[in-house]
Amino acid sequence: MKGALIRSFAVAAVALMVGLVGDVVYVVLFCPPHLAWKRVQAGRTTVVLDHGYRYAVADESIYVCDVPHAIGPVVVHHDLDCVCAPEELGTAALGQMLNGTCAGEQRHPTRADEVGACRHAHCVDPIVPGLITP
């Protein structure tokens, strides 16, 4: 019985380690917001986001935010993303909430938008003052 319990804990520890290594590899090599940051920094494009499931709603603006992506206390790289937030929040407050810098992108985005960094009103989950969701 004691051997089975030890094996169970060993298997759980190995599974946890595999999951953690997989997460680190994904964050370092395949993080979509970081890939957008790299494309924009290299000058290959100005588009940050042009697809996804989330759209800005009527009372939201879209901001382009450059934020550090950290695993625990270690900053791995910078991310660039389109963030939906209430228009009255503003770039300074949003940047402070995200620990990064933000710029106003579109005040009244629509799904027909073909210009700008955040096309077709796409953005990540909304920022609600008092509740950070991304």
Q: Residues 6 or more apart from 21 whose CB is under 8 A from it?
A: none
Within this chain, do residues 55 and 16 fall inside the same structural domain, yes or no?
no
58-94 pLDDT per residue, tens: 888 999 999 999 888 889 999 999 999 988 888 999 9
Residue 132 maps to a domain:
no
Within this chain, do residues 19 and 38 fall inside the same structural domain, yes or no?
no
Nearest to 50 by CA among 106, 10, 96: 106
Q: Which domain holds residue 50?
A: 33-121
**Which residue type occupies 133?**
T
Question: What's the mean pLDDT when you consider all of the chain?
Answer: 87
- Count of domains for the chain: 2
C-alpha 104, offset from chain centre? 16
Helix (H) or strand (E) holding 95: helix 91-98
Residue 127 maps to a domain:
no
34-55 pLDDT per residue, tens: 999 999 999 999 999 988 888 9
Within this chain, do residues 112 and 53 fall inside the same structural domain, yes or no?
yes
Residue 133 maps to a domain:
no
Within this chain, do residues 15 and 46 fall inside the same structural domain, yes or no?
no
